[in-house]
Amino acid sequence: MNTDSPAQQPASSRVVLAEADINRALTRIAHEILEANKGSQDLVLLGIPRRGYPLARRLAAKIAAADPSVAADDIIGQLDVTMFRDDLRRHPTRTPLPTQLPAAGIDDKVVVLVDDVLYSGRTIRAALDALVDLGRPRIVRLAVLVDRGHRELPIRADHVGKNLPTSSVEKVRVRLAETDTNNGGPAADEVVIEDFSA
């Protein structure tokens, strides 16, 4: 996940994915999900707030466009992991967002967790813990827009928009029109690497 408010300004930043790149990556991921699942049967996409949820909504729309037998709203949900995180003592001010499951639930479903950036793996570990409280999926897969490496837990994404090898002094920022603003208006969709080494 992103860190939304860095304490210092980056020494440099560069856009590594623009809007068209993000759209192409999500289209590819949607088709990979359908192929891995052999269709849309029993499929549920659970987005992890904050940016994983709008990405999941976009994926659901692309899946519905590819398979007219499925309605995007029927397969989408949001999974808040705030209370399952292992860093609550250090960051106690996180505001939980509602967890919303599709009407059919997640029992015996193929659940695809969706997040923006895969980094240490701790957010996904928290998501797996949260799932245990909600039901028993048949399969759990992971789709991320960006995998930046530096894993601290044995977690791997099944579907990746882009692998971005980064150093520990760099931050990966995902900006989406649904969640971010630019001078009061919606931000352009982009993925930026910021270098804090200076």
The residue assigned the tokens 């995998």 is: 147
Question: Cα 72 to chain center, whole Å?
Answer: 17
Quick one: CA dihedral 9, 151, 85, 107, positive or negative? positive
50: preceding bond cis by omega (within 30 degrees):
yes
Question: Edge-to-edge strands of the sheet including 139-147?
Answer: 76-78, 43-47, 110-118, 139-147, 159-163
pLDDT at residue 182, as a whole number: 84
Residue 5 has a pLDDT of 47
Q: Quick one: pLDDT at residue 198? A: 64
- Cα angle, residue 181 at apex, residues 9 and 172 outer, rounded to 5°: 45
What digits encode the pLDDT tens for the residues 143-176?
999 999 999 999 999 999 999 999 989 999 999 9
Q: pLDDT value at position 7?
A: 58
Q: Note down pLDDT in tens along the chain; length 198 residues.
A: 444 444 578 888 999 999 999 999 999 999 999 999 999 999 999 999 999 999 999 999 999 999 999 999 999 999 999 999 887 777 766 788 999 999 999 999 999 999 999 999 999 999 999 999 999 999 999 999 999 999 999 999 999 999 999 998 999 999 999 999 887 888 889 999 999 876
Give me the phi and psi of 141, to 5 degrees please: -120, 170
- CA 29, CA 61: separation in Å to the nearest integer? 12
Contact 174, 146 (CB under 8 A): yes
What pLDDT was estimated at residue 92?
65
pLDDT of residue 3: 46
- CB 190 within 8 Å of CB 15: yes
